[in-house]
Structure 1
Amino acid sequence: MPYAQIGPIAVHLPERVETNAQLQAEHPEWDLQVIGEKTGIMQRHISADGETAADLAVKAAEKLFAEHDIDRESVDFIMLCTQTPDYPLPTTACLLQQRLGLSSTCGAIDYNLGCSGFVYGLAMADGLIQSGVARRILLITAETYSKYIDADDRSLRTIFGDAAAATLVQASDEKSLWGFQFGSDGSGADTLLVADGGARAPQDAHKPRHRKRWKSRLYMDGPSLINFTVGAVPKLIEEIVQRNDLTTDDIDLFLLHQATFKMLEQLRISMGVDEARLPIRLRDVGNTVSATVPILIDELRRDGTLSQGSTNVLVGFGVGWSWAGCLWKDTFERAGR
């Protein structure tokens, strides 16, 4: 039986870089030193006017094809995770199929899941591969949250960056992804929210949980999200390792959605994990929503932190509320290794 393998990954970041120093000059009243210490973020990449998540996705996919000599005709399914699609309809993944020159027999689907989206996507790709429906799946996570953020919004502008990551999930004889577990709790919908742009009438739409302090279309209640995360994620990880006859001591790396330094540090302390086993790498890109985990994997592969054959945990969590996790061994053979 074939199993899903996380193959090569390519990341595309918009050309425009927005640093904390630039924000400090623009807003002298903001204390960027304190903000930077809490978020762990010193700069973000911001999409250009008129540049969408689909545009970033195309550039990431083309980079993947070029750098890893991938025949685009071999891709038999494309999955796009984004909360900033080009249109309510048609499906952006269908537009990507045409723009990337993929086969017309290629399946295409969008799914709107945010911060837990990469792990959910891996689970769906694993199911497609194990069922024999597909063998090479292009899983793209692409976000342009900056489109939802007002220029004067101190709480969000200092956190979120735009990015796309293209991951080739391919069939392998070796089982490298297992132990998937999921969670959802719609009672948290009012803590991270864009309430306009859909079919729900404004008067009937969800309202922010607390007072909305900024003009941004995006609303975030940071303290409630931290409380949710600290409650849900350690429990999820504990259940995953126990159900697979492991302990947390058996896990080499905990690869978690890169939300903010403060949130990840609270998780690390609550789990009793040392800093080396829970890498935090968001200083130069910020919180890129569904793209954080593949960006993290790509960086750790490049700098040698991620060892082949090691046992790791992947976890995404956030908007929805939704959360997901699994066990993963990196069996992909890197060039030059």
Structure 2
Amino acid sequence: MAQSNLYSRVIGTGSYLPPDRVTNQDLAERLAKQGVETSDEWIVARTGIHARHFAAPDQTTSELALQASRHAIEAADIDPQSIDLIIVATSTPDFVFPSTACLLQNKLGIKNGGAAFDIQAVCSGFAYAVAMADSLIRGGSNRTALVVGAETFSRILDFNDRTTCVLFGDGAGAVILQASDEPGVLSSALHADGSHANILCTPGNVNKGVIEGSAFLHMDGQAVFKLAVKVLEKVAVEALEKAQLSASDIDWLIPHQANIRIMESTARKLHVPLERMVVTVGEHGNTSAASIPLAFDVAVRDGRIKRGQHVLIEGVGGGFTWGASVIRY
């Protein structure tokens, strides 16, 4: 039975990036060997990205999630066995099934039989996962949730397509949400419109042991840009209104780290000063569902995000999906 005075609060954050840091120059040299031209200047001018990290051939999404989760558990100073809910937001799971969350539960050695499942909302996945975990905790079903965004997007990139392969990277971020009588996650707003599925998708599927269609990411960059800027402003305002706050009350804006131009445009529309926006896209690239928790952890650990401050997270991704949450850290 739901308890009216029960909330969920972030009590720990963690992140992990694979060791292989690939600069734009590194990537340009790799692509040149197969006849694809690009440059550091071309990539930076269009995206703000300077480097990204790629997982090693034997590194799975669950392995990246494991490292980020361990850091979050350590920061929260909790016994892993107290975690009774694991949600992993990912579009690049280890397997078709079982879920990456179940694999992660096992790798963490958690034996309490708590729920574990994946959420697939692409780059909005972490916002969706936070909203789901918050709802379950507020409803009294769970007390301590491990919420992870983890991706190995390098596995689904077409390195003959310079318009997409320069954008994405691999990584994982995690937060621990725990039941509290003090407000933490103040509000969430989630949306989707499947009529835009074709502008950002990986349309392949497995049938009788073989992949049908394309297993690579496809994107209409201009269409995604226009839609992203439009819906991110609206969903941010919606989440703020639900929390009974205004943009001026937000200490830190953490948008999905897709493209610096989209991020800056959204901040301007919300009248949030650019210096109050956490930006990691330059070093991480677009890590899809991992980008928001990665940026969150970076800003917590470098001291920018402090206890009691208001943080607005927002993401938009294939589906088309979009979502936002207002969090009192």
TM-score by length of 1: 0.88
Q: What root-mean-square deviation, in Å, do the aligned CA atoms of Structure 1 and Structure 2 show?
A: 2.3
Partner of 1:3: 7
Q: C-alpha deviations, 1:268-306, integer Å up to 9, x for none?
A: 233333211223221111111111111111111122222
Question: In the alignment, which residue of structure 2 is the partner of 1:224?
Answer: 223
Q: Please name the residue that 1:278 is paired with.
A: 277
**In structure 2, C-alpha distance between the alignment counterparts of 1:129 and 1:141, rounded to whole Å:** 19
Does 2:277 correspond to 1:307? no
Residue 181 (structure 1) aligns with: 189
Identify the residue that residue 64 of structure 2 maps to in structure 1.
56
Which of 82, 91, 102 in structure 2 is aligned with 1:94?
102
Q: State whether residues 53 and 170 of structure 2, in contact with CA within 8 Å, keep that contact through their aligned partners in structure 1.
A: yes
Q: Distance in 1 between matches of 2:272 and 2:106?
A: 45
Distance in 1 (alpha carbons) for counterparts of 2:104 and 2:93 = 11
Which residue does 1:136 correspond to in 2?
A: 144
Pick the aligned partner of 1:79 from 80, 87, 90.
Answer: 87
Structure 1 residues 220-229 or 34-43, which shifts more? 34-43
Q: CA deviation at 1:155?
A: 1.6
The number of residue pairs the alignment matches comes to 321
Query: Alpha-carbon deviations, 1:122-151, whole Å to 9, x = none?
Result: 111112111221111111211011000123
5+ residue gaps, structure 2, are none
Distance 1:24 1:88, change over 3 A: closer
1:186-201 matches, cutoff 5 A: 186-198=194-206
The alignment-based identity, stated in percent, is 33
Q: CA deviation at 1:199?
A: 5.8
Displacement of 1:243 in angstroms is 4.3
| Aligned match of 1:22 | 26
* 3-state SS of 2:281 partner: coil
- Contact kept? 2:23, 2:50, Cα under 8 Å: yes
Give the Cα–Cα distance (whole angstroms) in 2 for the partners of residues 216 and 153 of structure 1: 13
2-side partners of 1:148 and 1:18: how far apart? 17
Task: Report matched runs for 1:92-241 at 5 Å.
Answer: 92-198=100-206, 217-241=216-240
Q: Distance in 1 between matches of 2:67 and 2:181?
A: 30
Query: Contact 1:75 / 1:103 at 8 angstroms: preserved in 2?
Result: no
Q: Distance in 2 between matches of 1:104 and 1:193?
A: 36
Equivalent-residue separation in structure 2 for 1:150 and 1:246 (angstroms): 42
Mean alpha-carbon deviation: is it higher for 39-48 or for 83-92?
83-92
User: Which residue of structure 1 lines up, in the alignment, with residue 251 of structure 2?
Assistant: 252
Using the alignment, how far apart are the partners of 2:55 and 2:202 within structure 1?
Answer: 19
Any idea what the Cα deviations from partners look like across 1:53-109, whole Å, max 9, x if unmatched? 112112222333445543111111111111111111222222222222102422111
CA deviation map 1:245-281 (0-9, x unaligned): 4332222222211111121122223333321122322
Q: 1:88 to 1:238 in 2, by over 3 A?
A: same
Residues 1:245 and 1:178: Cα distance change in structure 2 (over 3 Å):
closer
- Cα distance change on mapping 1:71 and 1:160 into 2, 3 Å: same
Q: Kindly tell me: are residues 172 and 288 of structure 1, through their superposed partners in 2, closer, same or farther at Cα, counting changes over 3 Å?
A: same
Distance across 1 between alignment mates of 2:272 and 2:87: 33
Equivalent position SS for 1:9: strand
Distance 2:259 2:243 in 1: 29
